[in-house]
Chains A and B, each alone.
Chain A
Amino acid sequence: MSEIDPSIAIYVEETRELLAELERGLLDLENDPSDMERVDACFRAMHTIKGGGAMFGFEEISRFTHDVETVLDRVRAGALPVTRELLTLTLAAKDHILALLEAPAEAGPDLREASDALLDSFAAFLPEAREEAAEAQASPSQQHPTATLDGETYACEAEPGPPSIYWVRFRPAPRILHSGNDPVRLLAECDGLGRARVLRHGPMPDLDAPDFDPEETYGVFDVIVRTPCGGNDLRDVFIFVDGDSDVLVERIHRGTLRDADLDELVRALAGLDAAPPEVVLDALSQALSAKLAFITEAKARVAEKTARLTGAEPSKQRQTAPSTAAASTTLRVDAARLDSVVNMAGELVILQSRLRQAVQARDLDAAAAVDEDLERLTDAMRDVALGLRMLPIGTVFSQFTRLLRDLSATLGKEVDFEARGGDTELDKTVIDRIKDPLVHILRNSLDHGVEPPDAREAAGKPRRGRITLSASHSGGNVVIAIVDDGRGIDVAAVRKKAVERGLLPADADVSEKEILEMIFAPGFSTAEKISDISGRGVGMDVVKRNIEALRGMVELESVLGQGTTVTIKLPLTLAIIDGFSVVVGGDSFIVPLVNLRGFQERFLAGETRTVENMERMGELIPVVSLRRLFDVPGDQPGYERVVVTEVEGEMVGFCVDKVVGRQQAVIKSLDDCYRHLKWISGTTINGDGSISLILDVPQLVRFVRGQEDSRLHAARASRTLTQ
């Protein structure tokens, strides 16, 4: 039932967070192995992951985590030291748990094999367990029957079919101990047959009560057990006391329930210590029915929601699909921020009633006052609402620490990595999408920038290199800088390579900065050999394109022999853009301000084409007629305005009828059925309620480039033919 429970998504999300915390903790421990608080925190994270894994049906996670947790527990108890080897192994375990968490369905044989391989390595830290296992293998004839459920092994033979839930009532005879039977031992045996929850209730005299006999047993033990075994196994536990003591074993449900559900069932028995069995069974039946009804309802809700999200029939859903969907759809938000949204919604209601009064009284002054207040409130509400999507960038920093730790070991380099400004907040989407470019830049810094220790020493530098990643706010942007103290970029080598690749004429007079920009050209790499780390053809051009897709920009500075600085500027959010509103016929469009370079005009006579050329500052630039491109109805005017934009150094003009002015556009993304539309990145609603389409300028520029290329090819082909 775990896969139908909506709380599974929460478990997945929390486990991801716990794994990130675990990674941070392990990396901190590398710097300070004596930090026992960190060891405790790592242990707690592992323990929570294990517990949740068993509860929510991630059996392989629960099974795998058990030994890792035990090893951490031994570290906690001082029985094992924190070593680099152990940390590396635990980091690998963390990666593996993440892989198990994100596996689309039940863990496949590959993942199980990977689990076993890692567990073998952990066994070295579990000497006792290994000995026990060896002993068990040596004497298989002495093995007891076992059954497994949720990764736990129980001392009984499993019955065919699903596990069952039993109610066991055990009212020990007062002098049970005199016959050598201890209720605690019997209950422990019961516990060994399944997951048991026990309620001890009934009379218990005070310590000083004259009739209190400390050698007698008082009260009743009600046990709810989830077991793969049968009722007879449970009855056998009490076989030697049945008769003197009251023992009742009843199956109350065939099927499994979560640990939390068992807790609830056992709580339903409180105060029923003296009640006859039928009353208790009735209470259990009621509690169970309520629980099962809740589960059925939750199952239907999840199936319906998943079907809505994917457009598929509920019965055809992969049952563990919610876990992956949850990754991109859930977000943890500071409660204070939600409170302010609620407060503002309250104020909005008050303003609305003030507005109604003003309208009813036809009081224009009062309406104007409401308008002013509303403007203030809307501004504040917009800021707070956008803040809900903000996450500290530090959430991804620990991944980089890990990346550089592992890479430096692979490359045989020594490097100190420092991340600053982790509390700088950015839109969640931006954070998700900036991660890959940052990984690429950091890899480059370590692979190409930081020299091997000997080379550094020869150059008079400390053996250990240094890479700093910092994030800070600057105006409406977030600035991320990656600084290394490596060998820097050899401008002459870059120039040579650019000339070789035909990106630059041999005699071109260009500045150092422009040459450095060449690094962002597609396919450019000065790496002498391609390594696993970088130089694999996915170059800085992809980094630049990804950053520009976030409406950001990237710059490079380098001093030969001293190091390189890569600076990335990103907008705080993707939800609102500054744009320029333009009109073609009856349609209005938004050109993002970040791409805008200026305006020109052109006079037309006769037929126009979709893409033409126009002179701008002594150069010919392509211009696109939006009227023809989008088939806007109406007559072609003889005079047009041209909006000049720039993407990746290329200028392209867009011909429009009218330029309206600057507009802050709240982006409304296109519905799925419009996803195939090219050249439009979204829509926005104007002040008058009409809709503007936001132009996807980079896509349009690529389209123009494609048109120009095909025209060029056609021209070349025709020349060849005439020759």
Chain B
Amino acid sequence: MELHQKREGDRLTLAISGKCTVEHAAALRAALLEAVSAGPKLGLDVSGVEEADVTFLQLLLATALTMEREGASLRRSGALCEAVRQAAHVSGFDQTPPLQTFFADEERDG
């Protein structure tokens, strides 16, 4: 898993790529915590994710919930890669209210 931060003014984008599975869950949580604490305008770029398991989707949901609590919302930056789209679809995470917007705008569902 690789993480890259890009800052444009007060907007922060965290690009996550590679294999996002349980062995990287703790590192990803730490990166997300840091990004969330940096400000309310956080975007996640998951277009480079090659593999995702339940821990990745849970971290997305936990981030969205935490930001909601702070009055902000989690934004997606960039396209949705097939690995994440498929994982979120079969597990219902894409229909979970805090993540619905994050996973929206994909016209193809089957």
Contact = CB atoms under 8 A, between A and B. Distances in A.
Interface of A: 43-44, 47, 51, 73, 172, 177, 182-185, 187-188, 190-191, 196-201, 204-209, 212, 214-215, 217-218, 221, 223
The majority secondary structure among interface residues of chain A is: mixed
Nearest to B92: A198
Given A73-B108, A177-B55, A204-B65, 16 more contacts: A44-B107, A182-B22, A190-B90, A191-B89, A191-B90, A196-B90, A197-B92, A199-B92, A205-B62, A206-B66, A206-B69, A208-B36, A212-B62, A214-B58, A215-B25, A221-B91
Given A204-B58, A207-B65, A207-B66, A199 B87 contact: no
A204 B62 contact: yes
Contacts of B108: 47, 73
24 contacts: A43-B107, A47-B108, A177-B54, A182-B54, A184-B53, A184-B87, A187-B90, A188-B86, A198-B90, A199-B92, A199-B95, A200-B95, A201-B96, A204-B65, A206-B66, A207-B29, A207-B33, A207-B36, A207-B62, A214-B58, A215-B22, A215-B55, A217-B54, A221-B91
B61 interface: yes
Nearest to B22: A177
Interface of B: 21-22, 25-26, 28-29, 32-33, 36, 52-55, 57-59, 61-63, 65-66, 69, 86-87, 89-93, 95-96, 107-108, 110
A47 B108 CA distance: 8
A675 B60 CA distance: 68
A249 B67 CA distance: 35
The majority secondary structure among interface residues of chain B is: helix
A201 B90 CA distance: 14
Given A185-B53, A207-B65, A217 B95 contact: no
Nearest to B32: A207
Given A184-B87, A215-B22, A208 B92 contact: no
B62 A200 contact: no
Contacts of B86: 188
A44 B29 CA distance: 37
Q: A183, A197, A223 — which one has the most chain B CB atoms within 10 A of its CB?
A: A183
B42 to A, nearest CB: 11
Nearest to A189: B90
B54 to A, nearest CB: 5
A72 to B, nearest CB: 11
Contacts of A209: 62
Contacts of A197: 92
A208 B66 contact: yes
Q: Which 4 A-B pairs have the closest CB atoms?
A: A198-B92, A214-B25, A200-B92, A207-B66
A73 B58 CA distance: 30
Nearest to B108: A47
A214 B60 CA distance: 11
Contact of A200 (B33, B63, B65, B93): B93
Given A177-B53, A206-B66, A207-B36, A218 B58 contact: yes
B107 A47 contact: yes
B94 to A, nearest CB: 9
B66 A187 contact: no
Contact of B91 (A183, A204, A205): A183
Contacts of B57: 184
Contacts of A204: 58, 61-62, 65
A594 B69 CA distance: 74
Nearest to B86: A188
A391 B70 CA distance: 52
B69 to A, nearest CB: 7
